[in-house]
Structure 1
Amino acid sequence: MSVQHLPFTVRLVRTEDELAKAVSVRHAAYARHLPVFAEQLKQPELSDFNSDAVVLLAESRLDGSPLGTMRIQTNRNDALPLEQSVRLPEWLHRRRLAEAVRLGIKDGVAGHLVKTVLFKAFYLYCVQSQVDWMVIAGRPPIDRQYKRLLFSDVFPELGCVPLKHAGNLPHRVMSLKVADVEPLWRASQHPLYDFFFHTRHPDIEIEQAEGSVTQAMQPLSARRSGVEVHLAAQ
C-alpha cells in the first residue's frame, strides 16, 4: 500500500473554533446555489451536537483555513434526518445506517480532491463504526456524483422526494452497502479504487469512531442549550 500526504487534513470537529470553521464553509457552499436556504446555516445546527453525529472538517496545512466539511449521522439511537420525510424500505430496517449531510466544499481548484477525501473519510468512518449501509440524498444534478460512486436509488419508483432537513427541496435518496464497496469497485475497475483501498492517507484522522462520538464533541456540548435558545428566538 502506498502512502500519500495531502495539502490538508480531515479530522473530527472537537472545539468551538473548529465547528465555526465548518459552519462557515458549509454556509458559503450552500449560498452559492441555494442562498435562501443558506440563511438557515449561518449558525451551528442542533444536529451538530447530536450524540449520533460527527462533523468532519478539512483544513489547509498551509494556513489552517477551512476547505470542506460533512456531517455524518448514524441511527444508533435516533432515526436518520431523512426519515423525517420518508419511511425507509423494509430492507434497511434494523440495519445500522449512516447518512452524510451538509456537504460543503470551498470554491476553488482543490475542491474535487477535498470532496473525494471527505467521502473516503465517510467510508472509513462507516467501516470503523460497523455501519451496514451508507445513505445519502442529492438534488439534481449533484446526485450524479453519487451515482458515479455506485450509490443506488432507495426509491427508484419515486424519483426525487422533498426532504424537510434540506429545505423541502426534492432530493434523490441513495444508498450503498459498506461491505460491497471494495468488491463492487474492484469488479467495475472504479477509478477511485486505488485511492480508497491501495493508498493510505495519514492526513485523514478519524480514529475515534464507534463509542467515542460524544467524546469527540464533548467540548461543544455546553453550547447546545445556547443554540436551542437561538433557534427558538427565530
Structure 2
Amino acid sequence: MIHRSRQAPARHAAVRTRSTAAMTTATLDFTVTIATTDTELREVSVLRAQAYGHHLPALAHSLAEPDAADLLPGTQVLLCRSKRSGQVIGTARLQRNHPQPLAIEASVVLPDALAALPRAEITRLAIAAGADALVRPMLVKACYLAAVASQIRLLVIGARSPALVRIYRGLGFADLSEGARPVPLAHAGNLPHQVLAFDVVSAERRWHGARHALYGFMVETWHPDLQLLTAPAAAMAALPWREAA
C-alpha cells in the first residue's frame, strides 16, 4: 500500500531542471534501511532461509545464519520491515567488486567492457510470502540509489525463473549479452540463472527519454521510509584505505 502527496516536503525541496512541479512524496507500509546490527542480520538470515529453502533445501540451514559476505567491507544488506508487525518482509544484499571479485564472476565471464567498470551484484534477494507488492521494486530502488552514492556503474543480478527475468527486465535490467542463456551459478546452488545487468549511470536519461513508468517511481518520488544513510563510524570503516591505515 502506498500513500502519495503532491506537496514537496519543506526541508526536502526537489531541484529539477525539466519541470517546476513538486516532487511526489510517497509513504509506505514498511521501511527500507541497511542492516547494521547482528540482530538485524539474523532476522534477514531467517527470511533468506524461508525464501530459498524450498528450492535450495541443502543450503537452508546455512542460510539461516549471516555469512562471511554479509560482513565484508563494501557490502550493504538491505532490509524492509513492516510498520504494522515489525517483521522483516524483504531483503537484498548489494556487494561491490572490492575487496574481491563478485561472487557471480566465479561462474560467468563478464564482457571486457563491463569487467572494466566499478560494479556490484545483487544477491540474497528474499521476500516474505504475502508481502506488499512494492517490496521488490523498493529494494531495486534502494540498490540503485546506493549504487549512485557509491559511484558504482553496473549492477548485476541472476534470475532463476522466466517470471523473475520478466520482472527484472521491467525494472530496467537487460541480458548480460545478446542471446545469453541461463548458466549455473556456484553461489546459488548451481541452479541455472539468467544473468542480467543494469547500467546505473545511464538509467535516469534512458527512463526519461523512453517516458518509462519507472522514471516517476525511481527519480521523481521521495520515499521518506527509504533511509540508506549509515552511521559515520560504520561508513568510514568500510573505506578501502582504512585497511592500509
Aligned to 1:125, which of 146, 152, 156?
146
Q: Which residues in structure 2 correspond to 1:211-226 (within 5 Å)?
A: 212-213=234-235, 215=237
State the shift of 1:211 in Å. Answer: 9.6
Structure having the larger proportion of residues in helix: 1
State the shift of 1:109 in Å. Answer: 4.7
CA contact (8 A) 1:52 1:213 kept: no
What is the aligned partner in structure 1 of residue 199 from structure 2? Answer: 177
CA contact (8 A) 2:56 2:189 kept: no
Cα-to-partner distance string for 1:74-120 (whole Å, 9 max, x where unaligned): 0132100101112211001221001100000011151x211111111
Look at both structures and tell me which one has the larger radius of gyration over its CA atoms.
Answer: 2
What is the aligned partner in structure 2 of residue 43 from structure 1? Answer: 65
CA contact (8 A) 1:53 1:72 kept: yes
Between the aligned partners of 1:93 and 1:131, the Cα distance in structure 2 is 12
Between the aligned partners of 2:168 and 2:154, the Cα distance in structure 1 is 14
SS in 1 for 2:91: strand
Unaligned runs of 5+ in 2: 1-22, 239-245
Pick 1 or 2: higher relative contact order, CA cutoff 8 A, min separation 6. Answer: 1
Between the aligned partners of 1:88 and 1:211, the Cα distance in structure 2 is 34
State the shift of 1:17 in Å. Answer: 1.0
Matched, 1:104 2:104: no
Judged with a 3 Å threshold, the aligned counterparts in structure 2 of structure 1 residues 147 and 99 are, in CA distance, closer, same or farther, namely same
After TM superposition, the structure 1 stretch with the greater mean CA deviation from structure 2, 163-172 or 37-46, is 37-46
Q: How many equivalent residue pairs?
A: 215
Q: Percent identity?
A: 39
CA contact (8 A) 1:129 1:209 kept: no
CA contact (8 A) 2:42 2:64 kept: no
Judged with a 3 Å threshold, the aligned counterparts in structure 2 of structure 1 residues 186 and 94 are, in CA distance, closer, same or farther, namely same
Unaligned runs of 5+ in 1: 217-234
Between the aligned partners of 2:110 and 2:213, the Cα distance in structure 1 is 30
Taking only aligned residues, the RMSD between alpha carbons, in angstroms, comes to 2.1
Cα-to-partner distance string for 1:125-174 (whole Å, 9 max, x where unaligned): 00100111111111122222111123111143440111110011111111
Matched, 1:135 2:156: yes
Between the aligned partners of 1:212 and 1:97, the Cα distance in structure 2 is 21
Between the aligned partners of 1:188 and 1:16, the Cα distance in structure 2 is 42
- After the TM superposition, which parts of structure 1 deviate over 4 Å for at least 4 consecutive aligned residues? 209-216
